[in-house]
Structure 1
Amino acid sequence: MANGYIRTLSLLALMLGITISTTAQKSRAKKQPAAYSAYLFTYFTGNDKSEEQICFAVSNDGYHFRALNGNKPVINSADISETGGVRDPHMLRGADGKTYYMVATDMVSAKGWNSNRGLVMMKSTDLIHWTSSAINLQKRYAGQDSLLRVWAPQVIYDDSVKKYMLYFSVKYGNAPDKIVYVYANKDFTNLEGEMKQLFFNPDNAACIDGDIQKKDGHYYLFFKTEDRRPGIKIAVSDRLTGGYTMQSNDYVQQTDKPVEGAGTFKLNDGSGYILMYDMYTSGRYQFTKTTDFKNFRAIDENISLDFHPRHGTIMPITAAELARLNATW
């Protein structure tokens, strides 16, 4: 009788353990983020004010992209900017996996390449509806009288301080453009603290269009330099906010035509990374593929776009996010 009682308790304990284990496994499964299976491309289309607007395109494989909303704007620049136009949009998925951040140059190029003084900060929880703030650096900071332009902002999460960091190029007077960084406030509605220089070009040449990709514990800063001939180079650091040194003196674009607007993203299948850029004098966009950020191969034959983008960026998205975007636009 005693042995039977003990066996019954043991069986109950085993069953209870299985139930607890199964419940824990289900709980962990619910917390796992959805796998990324598609891509969202955000871009603008040209130098006319009507084209300095944010557009979206989507892809299932990272190679073949289809414009949403008939290649028309998904956000009205007049509603979000100080100048009435925006360029160079960059989008980031937040650290929580479900909030999205976007930044763009607040600029109408018809007013001149030295005409803009700020950027636009945007935030969304569904990729459809966005809140925004237009930040004029001359109004935000003292001592900015000689500021001529603010170009191509991007945003990245700094895990060391748990803040979102914006980085962009600025030009003061006759000095060359330089890439600076500054943190966003908690609500992503304004800038917090002072701007600091992010990268010091050893040639002291102009640096614009920065794009940072983290890989294997290192930060790779892709940027356009104006020394000798316009092109894209890479500087590397083991920390986000400084210490960048040139990986080499080589240009990484796979063309002899002028390029700008480097944008990188990781392929969902784990096969490598894409570096793309705007061949702005050729009316083309080129995609290249790499696994090590040292060797790049043009993959023009694999790419199809039913639109012509200008300086944009691509973010991996889930099937649910893709379905929501398709249903809306």
Structure 2
Amino acid sequence: MCAYLFVHFKEKRTPDGEQVYFGISRNGFDWESVNQEKPVLWSYYGDKGVRDHTIIRTKTGEFVILATDLSLSYGMLNQYQGSWETISRHGSKSLALWRSQDLINWEPQEMIPLGNEHFGCLWAPDIIYDQHNEDYIVHWSSAHADNNFGPKAIYYARTKDFRDFSEPNILYKKEDSGVIDSAMYEENGLYYLFVKSEGHPANIILLRSDHITGPFEKIEAFDHGMGELETGVYEAPTATKLADNRWALFLDFYGTKDAAGHGYIPFLADSLASGEFTRADTNFSFPYGFKHGTILAITDEEFERLQHYQKQPSEY
């Protein structure tokens, strides 16, 4: 794999922002938009908007996108009465899903009901392949009736085909605060889990485990590097391994009232094991504010196909 795809949404006040956007890069540093900065996919079901995208290339070669089923543009002033608490407790119990064989032609949107009446809204899905079980772990954050829909935890379900899923279980729960926005990666047989901690510290933390479903322990060296960041303004960690074997970690900065000022800040590390990430703004460029997404390694052929892709209005 020689190039990268960033699947994300835009922080806009209009419904077109909460859809599926693509950005591409040859090297993971310099990014350009796909489809002239317009959505590649549009959500017509559930809340009719999607956020917090993730994508995976399955072992059969199929591409799968999952996303939070939520539109603030339509819903915040409508069914949610301007309340994040109402969204957290009464938001969608499903995730939006799309499938493709080539990143260009996508099957119709599906809604995957992973939650039940005991769950609040299902936020920010992520996917990792479990080599030992030969299946996929989909993990997300939710409030739950167990603590009266208080601080959120990370839950997961298993699937082999993204059609049938196991019952949800807890992946990680932090005793002194809620956690959201999980992203997991494997390095040398160990599993590394980035999450946004909502307190103690109110920042991104990095956890490690011998097993894909935990238990996880915190990597203190990562806290030292993140300690220089302003708390409470970063979320949605996503990472990718670069061609030179370094890891690039992207944190979504939302510490501005200007929606156009939102976007990812990059950090670099020699390994996940070290936990030592260094901010690297000057090394990266983005055409606009990417919002809460996931990076996938793609081939040069896939890059060129996406680079020339344009979707006509009649195709939505």
Superposed pair shares fold, TM > 0.5: yes
- Distance in 1 (CA, whole Å) between partners of 2:132 and 2:225 is 30
Could you tell me which amino acid in structure 1 is paired with residue 152 of structure 2? D
Contact 1:100-1:125 at 8 Å conserved across structures:
yes
Aligned to 2:112: 135
Structure with the higher helix share, 1 or 2: 1
Could you tell me which amino acid in structure 2 is paired with residue 219 of structure 1? Y
Aligned to 2:229: 255
**Pick from 288, 294, 300: which aligns with 1:307?**
288
* Residues 168-204 of structure 1: per-residue CA shift (max 9 Å, x gap): 0111233210001101253x23x42210001132x34
Aligned to 1:277: 251
| SS of alignment partner, residue 74 of structure 1 | coil
Could you tell me which amino acid in structure 2 is paired with residue 118 of structure 1? S
- Distance in 2 (CA, whole Å) between partners of 1:116 and 1:47 is 20
Report the TM-score, using the length of structure 1 for normalisation.
0.81
Structure with the higher strand share, 1 or 2: 1
1:252 CA drift (Å):
4.9
Q: How does 1:114-263 map to 2 (within 5 A)?
A: 114=87, 115-131=91-107, 132-138=109-115, 144-172=116-144, 173-186=148-161, 188-189=162-163, 191-201=164-174, 203-248=175-220, 250=223, 252-253=225-226, 255-257=229-231, 258-263=233-238
Higher relative contact order, chain-length normalized (CA < 8 Å, sep 6+): 2
Aligned to 2:270: 291
Instruction: Give the gaps of 5 or more residues in structure 2.
Output: 257-261, 311-316
1:211 CA drift (Å):
0.3
Contact 1:231-1:251 at 8 Å conserved across structures:
no
* Residues 71-106 of structure 1: per-residue CA shift (max 9 Å, x gap): 11000112xx3110000111112224x321211101
Aligned to 2:37: 71
| SS of alignment partner, residue 138 of structure 2 | strand
Moved over 4 A (4+): none
Tell me which structure has the larger Cα radius of gyration: 1
Contact 1:91-1:100 at 8 Å conserved across structures:
yes
Instruction: Give the gaps of 5 or more residues in structure 1.
Output: 1-35, 139-143
* Residues 86-137 of structure 1: per-residue CA shift (max 9 Å, x gap): 00111112224x3212111011122443233221122211011223321234
CA 1:252–1:127 in 2, change beyond 3 Å: closer, same or farther? farther
Does 2:48 correspond to 1:84? yes
Could you tell me which amino acid in structure 2 is paired with residue 57 of structure 1? G
Aligned to 1:267: 242
Could you tell me which amino acid in structure 2 is paired with residue 44 of structure 1? F
Contact 1:180-1:195 at 8 Å conserved across structures:
yes
| SS of alignment partner, residue 324 of structure 1 | helix
- Distance in 1 (CA, whole Å) between partners of 2:114 and 2:5 is 29
- Distance in 1 (CA, whole Å) between partners of 2:200 and 2:216 is 21
CA 1:146–1:181 in 2, change beyond 3 Å: closer, same or farther? closer
1:308 CA drift (Å):
0.9
- Distance in 1 (CA, whole Å) between partners of 2:106 and 2:213 is 28
Report the TM-score, using the length of structure 2 for normalisation.
0.84
Please give the root-mean-square deviation of Cα atoms over the aligned residues, in Å: 1.8
| SS of alignment partner, residue 322 of structure 1 | helix
1:228 CA drift (Å):
3.5
CA 1:71–1:185 in 2, change beyond 3 Å: closer, same or farther? same
